[in-house]
């Protein structure tokens, strides 16, 4: 048995509220200590109060002033990239571990299925973006079989599942995701596109991953991707492929996407993977897989930090 770690969540919007419900309903390692917002009338704070969780509508200052703040070990930030800079400075001064669900990227990028073990000691870890959490595992799976010269991802999410924080951080989303495709996924160059789909009824999150990679056995590439999808499913059950992995020779049109130095021998195969992410519907409907994969990944990080701390002190 591991000792439960007390956690706080900053941000009482969609992501923060979904994460709170996950902690309360599904985690045997984490204990909700506080929900923090700036709108006293937000649904997230109202739900927290009904569920017996301590709340404050005074932001980070209110969190620091709450009784029992000194016992909180991990703080999840589900606000905005701009706000996170201030939150991180305050929380680090108090020695708190920070899991950042904004695109601020002050700490190392973490995608649990790919590189969590390398960053369990970091004071601040960044969860990249919903698109990054969904697609970077696939890029990494291809990269462990052959060098990836170029990786492009398109994340399509229901407009209704994109809250004010997501909409305010579109630029950061594309920049952060593209950079993480390179740093975590292993691609030499990455590109990210996000689509907010206004269709009614709302559509489930869909992601397309295209990798241009070096020569490798197509069966080995396929097996690597399938293994990675199974790994992500251990913490995001609604994560799945919509079609078998497609591996085909790189044509001249696709080759133009490569840097000049990579065009000769830099890519032999075009690998296409089509994904969808169905949410667990803990707070928003199942179509909001973009919300679910972020909160599920953050939950996995928090639980692993807690387990490591318990193992060290045992």
The answer on 198 and 86 residing in a single domain is: no
Q: Please report the pLDDT score of residue 70 as a whole number.
A: 97
Same domain? For 172 and 25 the reply is: no
Q: Once rounded to an integer, what is the mean pLDDT over residues 71-99?
A: 96
Q: Are residues 161 and 279 in the same domain?
A: yes
Identify the pLDDT of residue 274.
98
CATH code, domain with 233: 3.30.360.10
pLDDT at residue 74 in the model = 98
Range name among 13-27, 145-159, 259-273, 287-301 with the lowest pLDDT average? 259-273
Band of pLDDT at residue 166, cut at 50, 70 and 90: confident
For the chain, what percent of residues have pLDDT higher than 70?
96
Over residues 229-242, mean pLDDT: 98
Separation CA 76–CA 13 (nearest Å): 13
pLDDT at 263: 66
Strand-pairing partners, residue 151, are: 190, 211
109 and 134 assigned to the same domain = no
**Judgement on whether residues 136 and 275 belong to the same structural domain of the protein:** yes
Does residue 139 sit in the same domain as residue 263? yes
The pTM of the whole model exceeds 0.75: yes
- Helices marked H in the chain: 14-26, 43-50, 59-65, 81-93, 112-115, 130-143, 164-168, 170-183, 218-233, 252-255, 289-313
Confidence of residue 311 (pLDDT cuts 50, 70, 90): low
> Catalytic: which of 130, 211, 213, 306?
130
| Confidence (pLDDT) at 314 | 52
More confident residue, 188 or 257: 188
Q: Averaged over 98-117, what is the pLDDT?
A: 95
Distance from chain centroid for Cα 171? 16
Q: Does residue 265 register a pLDDT over 60? A: no
Residue 59: which CATH number?
A: 3.40.50.720
Provide the residue count of the chain.
314
* Per-position DSSP letters for 225-255, written without gaps between them: HHHHHHHHHTT-TTEEESS--EEEE--HHHH
Both tokens of residue 95?
């020695």
pLDDT at position 180: 97
Cα–Cα distance between 107 and 85 in angstroms, integer?
Answer: 11
Question: In which band, very low, low, confident or very high, does the pLDDT at 1 lie, cut at 50, 70 and 90?
Answer: very low
219 and 276 in a single domain? The answer is yes
Q: What is the number of structural domains in the chain?
A: 2
111: its two tokens: 């995608």
- Confidence at residue 313, expressed as pLDDT on a 0 to 100 scale: 61
309 with 171, same domain: the answer is no
35, 100: one domain: yes
Instruction: Clarify whether residues 92 and 31 are in a common domain.
Output: yes
- Please check the confidence at residue 120 and state whether its pLDDT lies above 90: yes
Position 164 confidence tier, pLDDT thresholds 50, 70, 90: confident
The domain containing residue 120 runs over which residues?
A: 5-127+293-313
Question: In this structure, are 65 and 139 located in the same domain?
Answer: no
Q: Are residues 37 and 182 in the same domain?
A: no
Is residue 213 exposed (0-12), middle (13-18) or buried (19+ Cβ within 10 Å)? buried
Mean pLDDT within 172-191: 95
Binding-site residues from annotation for NAD(+):
12-15, 161-169, 290
| 146 φ/ψ angles, rounded to the nearest 5 degrees | -165, 150
The mean pLDDT value for 274-293 works out to 95
Numbered residues of the known binding site: 12-15, 161-169, 290
Q: What's the whole-number average pLDDT of the chain?
A: 93
Q: What percent of the chain has pLDDT over 90?
A: 84
CA distance 151 to 142: 10
Band (pLDDT 50/70/90 cuts) for residue 18 is very high
Asked if 130 is an active-site residue, the reply is yes
């Amino acid at each position: 048995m591991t000792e439960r770690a007390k956690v706080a969540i900053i941000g009482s919007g969609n992501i923060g509220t979904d994460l709170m419900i996950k902690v309360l309903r599904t985690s045997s390692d984490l204990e909700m200590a506080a929900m923090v917002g700036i709108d006293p009338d937000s649904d997230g704070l109202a739900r927290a109060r009904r569920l017996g969780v301590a709340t404050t509508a005074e932001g980070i200052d209110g969190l620091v002033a709450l009784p029992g703040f000194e016992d909180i070990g991990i703080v999840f930030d589900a606000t905005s990239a701009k706000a996170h800079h201030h939150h991180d400075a305050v929380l680090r001064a108090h020695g708190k571990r920070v899991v950042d669900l904004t695109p601020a990227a002050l700490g190392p990028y973490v995608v649990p299925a790919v590189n969590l073990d390398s960053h369990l000691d970091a004071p601040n870890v960044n969860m990249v973006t919903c698109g990054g959490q969904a697609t970077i595992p696939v890029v990494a799976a291809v990269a462990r079989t052959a060098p990836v010269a170029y990786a492009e991802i398109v994340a399509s999410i229901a407009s209704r599942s994109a809250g004010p924080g997501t909409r305010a951080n579109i630029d950061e989303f594309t920049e952060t995701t593209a950079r993480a495709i390179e740093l975590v996924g292993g691609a030499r160059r990455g590109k990210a596109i996000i689509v907010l789909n206004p269709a009614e009824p709302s559509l489930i999150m869909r992601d397309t991953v295209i990798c241009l990679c070096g020569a490798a056995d197509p069966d080995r590439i396929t097996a690597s991707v399938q293994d990675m999808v199974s790994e992500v499913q251990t913490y995001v059950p609604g994560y799945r492929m919509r079609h078998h992995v497609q591996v085909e020779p790189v044509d001249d049109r696709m080759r133009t996407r490569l840097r000049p130095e990579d065009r000769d021998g830099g890519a032999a195969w075009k690998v296409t993977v089509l994904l969808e992410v169905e949410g667990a519907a803990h707070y928003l409907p199942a179509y909001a897989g973009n919300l679910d994969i972020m909160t599920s990944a953050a939950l996995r990080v928090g639980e692993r930090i807690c387990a490591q701390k318990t193992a060290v002190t045992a």
